[in-house]
Structure 1
Amino acid sequence: MTPRPTKKSPDRGDARIRLLEAARDIIRAKGFAATSVDDLCKAAEVTKGAFFHHFKSKEDLGVAAAEFWAETTSSLFVNAPYHQPADPLDRVLAYIAFRKAIIQGDLAEFTCLAGTMIQEVHASSDPIREACGRAILGHADTLVADIEAARQAHDIEGDWTAESLARHTQTVLQGAFILAKAGNDPEIARESLDHLDRYVRQLFKLTEENKC
């Protein structure tokens, strides 16, 4: 979801960012447990001394990586085209289409760092689990206003809330990433987004005739 860092030799003051960028890429490719401090230092072109200057431990790095992920991906979504439609339901559907469109490249390029880490450490590291949870649920929160506005604009009632549907979108996405990894096939993830689109249309009682 974010561009890979280019190979360069920036000033020592950039060491923390370089380590976080390395964590973003390597953990998505190998997982948190399989990523060593040596891996991170080699990719970031820094010494172990520099690593431990910025992070007390690998767990500390994991927390910072989840926070870095949330911060850097937020700009991608804030500036994404799905905010443009006037109808809030169109914005919700455009969000789903946007998430499908950015499922491109290798698995490590489009899967979620927070989701990858939380699967491994949810029972072994509360700090990382909480940081990953804030990243994923915080992103879900950005969808709530549009979903609620769509409910009101289209006069939809039901035993669900805007918050629950926002969280469900992330449930589908995270599950889609896992199945894409299991099948080593990004198309599985895109297929899941197509089903999410159909589900939302059914919730809002859209028909083929008035399909957005």
Structure 2
Amino acid sequence: MSNTTRSKPNKPDARAKLLDAAFSLIRAKGYCATSVDDLCREAGVTKGAFFHHFKSKEELGVAAANHWSEMTGIFFATAPYHDHQDPLERVLGYLDFRRAILQGEVREFTCLVGTMVQETYDTAPAIRAACEASISGHAAKIEADIAEALARAGMKPDWSAKSLALHSQAVLQGAFILAKANGGAEIAGESIDHLKRYICLLFNRS
């Protein structure tokens, strides 16, 4: 996800600055390696300001996941793939859009909630739940287009629209891991291309 998703109020308060700092640092260093001191330094606020807004780093992690959902929701809601009348074209356009925003450094396009949940799924249940809600909520929006595409094609497969929508997120999160391992976006883009071909095969779309 590009930095277009970062919050940009005219005069950001300490809380907004800390959330923006979380977006940047956690995607670059990971949740566990990011300290409260790091967050305060990046945000340009005091530790007193941090603890005024958040009781702990875990509470900030939950808030960051929720804020990520809000900001990315706005970002994707205004994307051009929604203009397609054909629901399958919207799904394929979504994948094209995801590929197009693989820009900049790895930390700039990877997913905050995907990064956090890998580290905290067993140690911070509240963060895990917030990350799951973010990923599942995003998948649900794609699920609606997949379901409409199935209905339009008269297809009744032994898999569900929900399962394919979640699979798309699994591929995207895996693509981000490959990008981190390889230090660049190329391999992530290839993974999205494979996913697009797979969906075309499912719908017999050439």
TM band (smaller chain): over 0.9
Name the residue aligned to 2:145: 146
Amino acid at match of 1:111: T
Report the equivalent of 1:189. 188
Residue in 2 that maps onto 1:165: 164
SS in structure 2 of the partner of residue 173 of structure 1 = helix
Unaligned runs of 5+ in 2: none
- The alpha carbon displacement at 1:156 in A equals 1.9
Provide the aligned length of Structure 1 versus Structure 2. Answer: 205
Q: Which aligned pairs between 1:58-137 and structure 2 lie closer than 5 A?
A: 58-137=57-136
Offset from partner CA, 1:45-89 (integer Å, 9 cap, x none): 110000000000000010001001001111110000010111111
Distance (Å, rounded) in 1 between the aligned partners of 2:161 and 2:5 = 34
8 Å Cα contact 1:31-1:117 kept in structure 2: yes
Letter of the 2:184 counterpart: D
Cα distance in 2 between the residues matched to 1:77 and 1:5: 13
**Does 2:35 align with 1:36?**
yes
Output the amino acid matched with 2:86. Answer: D
Partner of 1:3: helix, strand, or coil? helix
Distance 2:69 2:43 in 1: 20
SS in 1 for 2:4: coil
| Partner Cα separation in structure 2 for residue 145 and residue 185 of structure 1 | 31
Deviation at 1:4, TM superposition (A): 7.6
Is contact 1:4–1:25 with CA below 8 Å preserved after alignment? no
- 2:201 maps to a residue whose letter is Q
In 1, distance between residues paired with 2:23 and 2:171? 22
RMSD: 1.8
Partners in 2 of 1:179 and 1:38 — Cα distance? 29
Whole-Å separation in 1 of the counterparts to 2:144 and 2:26: 32
Which residue matches 1:210? none
Give the structure-1-normalised TM-score. Answer: 0.93
For 1:130, the aligned partner's letter is A
Range moving further from structure 2, 90-99 or 152-161: 152-161
- Report if aligned partners of 2:54, 2:60 keep a CA contact under 8 Å in 1: yes
Spell out, residue by residue over 1:12-41, the C-alpha distance to the aligned partner (whole angstroms, 9 max, x if none). xx1000000000110000000110111110
Deviation readout 1:114-165 (Å, 9 max, x if unpaired): 0000000101000000001111111001111110110011122211111111
Runs of 4+ in structure 1 over 6 Å off: 4-7
Q: Distance in 1 between matches of 2:30 and 2:22?
A: 10
Q: Is the 8 A contact 2:5 2:71 kept in 1?
A: no
Three-state SS of the structure 2 residue aligned to 1:75 is helix
Instruction: Return the offset for 1:110.
Output: 0.3
CA distance in 1, matches of 2:191, 2:42: 33
1:157-188 deviations in whole A, cap 9, x for unaligned?
Answer: 21111111110110000000001111112101
Check conservation: 2:7, 2:20, Cα contact below 8 A.
no
Q: What amino acid does structure 2 have at the position aligned with 1:146?
A: D
Percent pairwise identity: 57
